[in-house]
Amino acid sequence: MMLLSRAPSSQVHAPSAIHRPLSPDVPIAPTTPSPPPPLPRVVVPVGENQVLVQVVRGKDRYRFAMDTVSSVFDVKTHLEVLSGVAARSQRLLFKGKYPTDDLALSSLVSSTNTSPSSLVFMLLFDERQHVRVDVQATTVELQLQLVTHRTNLARLEGQIQRNFFDATDVSLRLRQLLDAVEILLSNAEIACDSSPSHDLRQLSTDAQALRDAITQVHEALITRRT
């Protein structure tokens, strides 16, 4: 079958320009406003016999004035209020060294050449704080696992109550669920030994109760089969 096509023209015609009259009703898009200027840095008033203390921790910056007779531990105590990190878990690095807690700030001021006097510390955490942070994350993870295990048990109980289930399959899943709760309970006890907390103690109590509930359901299923 022969397909018909239009023969190409040897002349190239430029497309005619489309003229549209300007309409006075068309609003002109406003220009994008320039971003506001950055906020001025807050000036910390420093009184007589005081020193400006600046503490850096990642992106966090803490600036406050303290008396020169104050100690390094006083700085940590004030930081505990600002950052929520216990003073005993803080390590303050100053010029590559860790000054002792009882050292007066006046001793550090005399070693600086800045004017007005300013002390810049870097806030680090000791190993115990890192352990606490890890345990907190573990606690949240275990709590989520506990919720999942409770949901799975409720689902299995629902199947048993409706009498629409395979006894062998449900028995196997109950044993698997019991093993998972045993592991959760062991992890909660290990975490509690590292850093005891109310949440972990409650988690252990709830896990034990769930373990007992699973055991009862499993025993009732075995009795029902016999």
Q: For each of the domains in the chain, give its residue range(s) and CATH number, in order of start.
A: 50-125 (3.10.20.90), 130-224 (1.20.58)
User: 20 or 34, which is more confident?
Assistant: 34
pLDDT at position 189 is: 86
pTM of the model: 0.48
Compute the distance between CA of residue 133 and CA of residue 56 in angstroms, rounded to an integer: 19
The single-letter DSSP state of residue 97 is B
pLDDT tens across 89-143, in order?
888 989 888 999 999 999 998 765 555 568 999 888 766 666 677 788 889 999 9
How far is the CA of 72 from the CAs of 52, 93, 146, 221, in angstroms?
13, 11, 43, 64
**3-state DSSP: the chain helix, strand, coil percent, rounded to 5?**
50, 15, 35
pLDDT tens across 51-67, in order?
999 998 878 889 999 99
DSSP 36-52: PPPPPPPPPP--TTEEE
